[in-house]
Copies of this chain bind each other. A is one copy, B any other.
């Protein structure tokens, strides 16, 4: 496998980076104008540098400009509460995974790589339609049919919970201190938004994060 990793700098895709470091030829972060992109991409860059893996950031400014989502800088306040709560739907960025995957597939074909890795997981499924197995499977078929070499889309954590990913990460010594999750994008993790609550639950017992609250 010669893979391109879609790499946010969060704990799931960082665990992928550790787990597949020998197969990953290129890691790509997307700056789509979320409130937390600037924070998380710093970790993505640094972790790739530590592993000697090429890393690029692709700016998708049109999403912040034209898309409607409270996750974006142009959107409203980030809701507090549990990740699976109804009000977290305000943080959906429409078809974000479709957009990141498509660009990654085209770039993989340009670079003569054969696989795109994405770190979506089971905990995302309740709220985010483009994290579900039904989307991933259909998109993987589209990527295979729509490229000359038949690029594969692989989502190793699609059926795992975030806790299960954290336990994999712990077992392979992922440094979770060098990952960022908070949707608010301030220096410290807020500890109150959906992703912070999910992060706390996943890392319980070995959480190196310093939270505001």
Q: Which residues of A approach B to under 8 Å, CB–CB?
A: 56, 58-59, 62-63, 66-69, 89, 92-99, 101-103, 105-111, 129-130, 132, 134-135, 138-139, 141-148, 151
Contact = CB atoms under 8 A, between A and B. Distances in A.
Contacts of A135: 142, 145-146
How many chain copies does the complex carry?
2
Given A58-B62, A109-B94, A138 B129 contact: no
Nearest to A26: B66
Give the residue among A99, A101, A106, A130 with the most B Cβ atoms within 10 A.
Answer: A106
Nearest to A151: B95
A34 to B, nearest CB: 14
A101 B103 contact: no
B102 A99 contact: yes
Contact of A94 (B58, B97, B110): B110
A73 to B, nearest CB: 15
A137 to B, nearest CB: 8
A95 B106 contact: yes
A146 B102 contact: no
A68 B69 CA distance: 32
A106 B98 contact: yes
A69 B147 CA distance: 13
A105 B101 contact: no
A100 B3 CA distance: 23
